[in-house]
Amino acid sequence: MTIQNAVPAASAVHLRTVTFAHPHAIELNDRVQLEYAQRYGDGGDVTHLDPTMFEPPRGLYLIAYDDGGTPLATGGWRAMDATGEGYDVGDAELKRMYVTPQARGLGLARRILAALENDARAAGRTRMVLETGTKQPEAIALYTSSGYTPAPTKFGHYRFDDLSRCYVKAL
């Protein structure tokens, strides 16, 4: 299925739990990777993500669909604990937040973010963490307006990259 260009009303959008290996998750992930490559001039995000990382109760992956079944936005969280990459015990890491260009401005990222935070909290996670980049000002604006603050110590695959920005929020 190819993602269409229709713009639904925000109320006509439904969040569904899927696997990270779902065809729509793969399609949206490919699209976000292209956007990363355009913004950063490289091959996209090379962080290793195994589909099993997003399986409950240690993760969740969501896709927002319109009433016609068109996938419009995506996001997930995965459990992360103390590692050599700067994570703490109880962390939930936000991954692959993306809204298709035609669905931007409908509040879908904020809806997905809230659902992921609630699910991670219910799963016993104590802090949501995320890594984004300086060339994604819309993402930074979303996260800071949602209560995220700069992390005291950077974490993740890109923690040594000057373009990387890490944020945290207590759950």
Tell me the C-alpha distance between 77 and 58, whole Å.
Answer: 8
Kindly report whether the peptide bond that precedes residue 56 is cis, defined as omega within 30 degrees of 0: no
Residue pair 165/144 in contact (Cβ under 8 Å)? The answer is: no
What pLDDT, in 10s, does the model give residues 45-104? 878 899 999 999 999 999 999 999 999 999 999 999 887 788 999 999 999 999 999 999
**pTM, 2 dp:** 0.91
What pLDDT, in 10s, does the model give residues 139-162? 999 999 999 999 999 988 889 899
The letter for the amino acid at 149 is: T
Please name the CATH architecture into which domain 10-170 falls.
Answer: 3-Layer(aba) Sandwich (3.40)
Question: Encoding tokens for residue 115?
Answer: 């659902």
Mean of pLDDT values over 2-14? 61
Tell me the C-alpha distance between 54 and 13, whole Å.
Answer: 22
* pLDDT recorded at residue 7: 53
